[in-house]
Structure 1
Amino acid sequence: MGLFQNLPIVSFFLLLIFIISIPSTQATRIEILNNCSDTVWAATNPGGGKKLNHGETWNLTVTAYGNTTAGGRIWGRTNCAFGPDGLGKCESGDCGGLLECKIDGQSPNTVAVYLLNQTTDTDLFYVSVVEGFNIPIEFRPLSPKACSKASKCAEDVNGLCPMELRDPGGCNNPCTVFSNDQFCCFSGTSICEPTSYSMFFKDLCPEAFTYPFDVGQSNACPAGTDYKVVFCPSRSRSKTSSSDTNSTDKYNTANFDNRNNCNYTVWAAAVPGGGMLLNPGETWTFDVPADSGYGKAPNTLAEFALNQFNNLDFFDISLVDGFNVPMEFSPTSGGCRGIRCTADIKGQCPNELSAPGGCNM
């Protein structure tokens, strides 16, 4: 006997109308991973917030009902302190002093934005630095089979930030600093155009939205796709065109000559690049992409960032990790001056900083 066999015909049709009228739901899972070495206080609006230590994940579920859409923002907060009541403060991305956010974050903060279940059953998502930058972020689908597009801003924006935009929590957007129509687009017209500051962000993060009227890269995936937001993703950069068989890396490599001018053997090291034993007078030559790395302290460090803002290379010598050998860093083709650190730091190192390998910080 059928389930509806004994129902009066009118009641049957009323029940059928009720079943049809129940709104369908579309649940989307967003996995938020902290890949940074430091603690990040993840934040979402709507959604709340959660403390994530290195390697920890927070699974967020967003639901769109029927024909409605669902949208929100995800960002990371740094250097936070919260009490048992969930009240406190963050150096960047603060949302009114609450652990579980109910409003958007305070600049500077890198933001992952999503708009789910849009027209034609499509999700839209992107990364924005319109409110500045504090933490590198990647926003991508969890299953590349469903959709392979991604949006990322993972370069060293804070380290290269113009002095006038620098903030203890990161790199501010110019609207926060100058608060005028040129950068904030208060008038709401298409006259608002890119500036040197937005171009600085765009050069480092070409996929991100950089100012209010920016035509950034908004990715689209089928509604119902699950996503992943990663704080501090890998910093690999894309090719100029994956479909062009003759395409080359957008960020050129550079040639480095490493010469040992000491009167003793030095084991040269480079990240990326590797390492090599250099006797006095020997030279090691290698090509490297735009990236940098560190060895174990104490070590005198030559740092470089290639093909950055305005197509410039940046380089320096750092003693932040201490000192072990004298060093000079200079162009081989001229055009700009070099830098050096050749003083007898090991010989004058304070006893409390002295180490078998050199002079610690």
Structure 2
Amino acid sequence: MNRIVKLSMVIFFLSICSCRQEKAEGPDYYVIPVVDTGVEVHLYEMMGIKKEYLSEKTKRGKEDADYNYDSNQPSYTKLNSEGASLPDSTEKWALIRDNITGRVWEAKTADGSIHDRNTFFTFEEAQDHVDWLNSIKYGGFSNWRIPNLKELSSIIHFEKKFPSSNTDYFKNQYSSFYWSSTECVDDNRFAWGILFQRGVALNHFKKVRYCFRAVCIENEAFEHVKLFGDQTIRFKDNGDGTVTDYSTGLMWQKDCSKNKTGEKKKNKFKWHDARVFSEESDYAGYTDWRLPNIKELISIVDYRKEYPAIYSIFNDTIDNGDFMSSTPNGKSQCPYILPLKNGDFDIAGTPSYIRLVRNFTE
């Protein structure tokens, strides 16, 4: 039993006694477990540098590849058109189940059907497609949707490029833009999506045709969504400058404005300094802090807001800055960053803010 399921059981009993209910209207599908990024190689290895040639300070700065947790490693199962499991060796499948998030994805084909990867959709046509999938109960499911940006980013494999996904399961994947249901807050004529060329978030005009992959959710995962859609149950302010997110099993630094670096004590860090600072911090009495990977940073974004696009329990004074992750991009030799103004994520080498994270243990 992974730590997300364990925590769900604990918080379920707490929720029975909860007197405050601040749930989103309808299911909050933005509630989703954090899947590992898939990065297993260090940036210096991507650059062809041997570890013995690194400085001692550089060795102290751990990165994404140093923090792989077995319970959150990407895990998928191939399904047929009736929703039944298939062996990994099968060469033809209709659906892909994400065993970590409980989401079930439409498989793309190269057979000229409606599922063909060369069938492109406007935003409205993508909605028509999921309506059709629901009408025929495709795969035995009747809750097909356009995936939101968090769901779509959950299937990014950040070590892979062209496309940045696991093509052993997500076969016929283009390195192109794929629609999400997440509309731009400041202009709903545009919606967000993922460019799978390198795993970054972009937004596009809804009337242009792009790639699209539908998603639905299994019952157990839906219970997770219903429970933690109430933010008073999902988050706990620990009163010591930290916030626990029970839906992901992570503890966060609440106010990161006090993180300083260099002689001038600036808030913005270079990537190397950010990793060392995080690794050696004893903030709030804990000594196992780290720099979050990009998927962990995405987990605390509230895409229904902007300036800042973050859940309201994080009330620090840095509202709209770029936040740095421990996830490197090998080609650019820069980390992935997440700007809080709107929650998009990209690759950048400029100094950025940091927010400490650690695994929550009872």
TM-score range, shorter chain: under 0.3
**Greater strand fraction, Structure 1 or Structure 2:** 1
Q: Which has the higher contact order (CA 8 A, sep 6+)?
A: 2
What TM-score, normalized by structure 1, do the two folds share? 0.24
What TM-score, normalized by structure 2, do the two folds share? 0.24
